[in-house]
Each structure stands twice: as structure tokens, then as C-alpha cells.
Structure 1
């Protein structure tokens, strides 16, 4: 049986909600809906209707959801390794007393525009003109964001550390 729009519509009406719920085991609601839509697009591209369309759709959704979930885990692991090793190498050469994880944490506290400007300039080696194009702003604004981000980092790095020792009163 060929897959016409009417058959596809009936299958969508009959199975889409259940497939979204099924995909939510691995993905959030928006991603689950995207996976279901992709599965129906894949079904529409089939030459003919599978013998068990509901089973076929569930399998396609499951495979895509599990694959995306595994990809996210691998990406996070890679990013964690790279960010730690790059941060360790970068900050070790700047100041051995500075903990790379603390510095990365401080960088994450900056607003998105400043953080992007600082990382693009320092680690990416981009010029302020290139950062301006990247951020869709003027060169002056890119420079201000960079300077502001550096100033906030310096301010946070220079604040006194909380005392971990307590004086005993005798």
C-alpha cells in the first residue's frame, strides 16, 4: 500500500500523541515532538507502508531518541575533557595559583555577550571586528563587552577568599 496524505494523516492522528509520550523517556517535550515529526517524514519517504506502521514508527522514534541521548552524553563528556584540559593549560601558563576550574566557573558567571566576547578573543583569537560580526553588533560594542567581561573577571578574582580557618578564643 502506498502512503498518501490521507493515510499519513490518519496514522498521525492515531499515533502521534503516544509517540511523543514514548520519546519523552529520553528527550524533553520539544525534542520529543521533533523526533515524532521526523519519524512521520521518514514514513512519508518510504515507498510503501510497513506491515506494522505503529511498530515501525515506535522503532524509528526510539532509535532517534536513544541516538540523540547518547550523542548528548558523548558531547558533554568531550566538552568537559576539552574545557578542563584547555583551561588547565591556559591558566597554568598565566598564573599557577589560579585554579582552572574556578576560573572557568567565574567565566560562566558572566553574561552571555561578555563571555562570548572574552572566549572568542582570548581562546578563539578573533579580532574585535570578527567578534562584532559574530555577535551582530558594532566593533565598539564588541570591545566594550570584552573589556567589561575582563573587568568583572578581575574584580571577582581579586575579592578576598573566605577564611577557612577560625580563630580559637581562649
Structure 2
């Protein structure tokens, strides 16, 4: 026994009709949606799904598809804009990694910007070493690399940071010197 096919009281050949509409109009609908939103494939697919789920198809299915594609694309674009605005608002209110204090040798904003330019592993190593006071052995164990790899990546990251900040790194504090050679 074959699976049941969607039926339309107006037309017993919905599957064939839907297939014809898809073949003849999907490309143009994609082009139309592409100018309105960032994900035209989803919008066009959703329009055809909505058409297939109707009990009674509209008299002019082509015009109906264009209307649904337009509405969905505009809705998607507005949703994307709201998401971007929320993300920007959150990013602006997010606390900085550092607190700039008068008299310090490092500008917090520039330091964060420079750190974010490093690869993730290098950033982890620098933060664990400088602010966490971990030894290269401890860092290696933490991130799953050898002690020498942790040291080499640290040196590469410091070189990149110095180049980015155009200044030498400040000397390490006394509290970190006790951790240096572990």
C-alpha cells in the first residue's frame, strides 16, 4: 500500500502541481528573496511548505507564493536586525577583561583588542601564565600540550602582543617570579 498523498479538494494532483510550481518558479522566487533577506533558501522552502499544507489552494498560486516569500523574507530580515541589535547592546555592556587605572602601564582596551587577535590556544596560555601565574608544565597539562610547546606558544604570543602594542611588555611582578621556573 502506498503512503497517502496530500489532497486538495480543488485538484486531485497536488503533488504534480506542486512539483510543476517548484520547477517553474523556485529559481525566480530565490532571486526575489535574495534581495530581501540573508537566507533565501529557507524562505522559499517555507513558502512551498505553507502552500502544500493548505486545504484549498489560492486561485493564483504563483502570486500567492511571491506574497508569502516577501512576507517571510521581511520577517526574517527584521528578526536578524533585532538579533544584531541585541548582540551589540550586550557587547557594549559586557565588562572589559581589564580595568584601566590611571598610572598603569597597559591600556585595557588595547590589551583586550590585542589578546583577541591571538589564536585561542595562545590567548589561553598568555592569560594562564601572566594572570594565573601557572608554570609552563601546568599550562601544558591544562590545555593538553607539552611544556615546551606551551613555552614556545607563549613566546610567540608575547612577540605578537609586543608588535601589536608597539611597546615591550612590563616586567613580571614579584609574585609571578616564584612560579616562573616550575
After TM superposition, give the deviation of residue 52 of structure 1 in Å.
2.1
From the CA coordinates, give the structure whose radius of gyration is larger. 2
1:46 aligns with 2:54: yes
**Alpha-carbon distance change, 161 to 139 in structure 1, aligned in 2, over 3 angstroms:** closer
Q: Does 1:12 align with 2:19?
A: no
Matched positions, count = 133
User: What SS does structure 1 have at the residue aligned with 2:58?
Assistant: coil
Q: Tell me the residue number matched to 1:74.
A: 82
Whole-angstrom CA distance in 1 between matches of 2:159 and 2:93 = 25
1:114 Cα shift?
A: 4.0
SS of the residue 1:58 aligns to: helix
Aligned-pair distance for 1:98? 3.0
Per-residue CA deviation, residues 101-126 of structure 1 (Å, 9 max, x unaligned), is x4554354344x549x95xxx9xxxx
Q: Name the residue aligned to 2:98.
A: 91
> 1:168 corresponds to which residue?
none
**Gap runs ≥5 in structure 1:** 123-137, 163-170
Residues 72, 58 of structure 1: CA spacing in aligned structure 2 closer, same or farther, 3 A cutoff?
Answer: same
How far does the alpha carbon of each residue in 1:8-45 deviate from its partner, in whole angstroms, 9 at most, with x for none? Answer: 011112211110010011234xx212221121111111
The equivalent position to 1:161 in structure 2, one of 151, 163, 166, is: 166
User: Secondary structure of the equivalent of 1:91?
Assistant: coil
Gaps of 5+ in 2: 1-9, 129-141, 168-182
Paired residue secondary structure (2:57)? coil
User: After the TM superposition, which segments of 4 or more aligned residues of structure 1 sit over 2 Å from their partners?
Assistant: 95-100, 102-111, 138-141, 154-162
Question: Equivalent residues in 2 for 1:14-163 (5 A)?
Answer: 14-28=24-38, 31-88=39-96, 90-92=97-99, 95-96=100-101, 97-100=106-109, 102-103=110-111, 105-111=113-119, 114=121, 140=144, 152=157, 155-159=159-163, 160-161=165-166
Contact kept in structure 1, 2:37 and 2:73, CA below 8 Å: yes
Partner of 1:128: none
Q: Tell me the TM-score normalized by structure 1.
A: 0.59
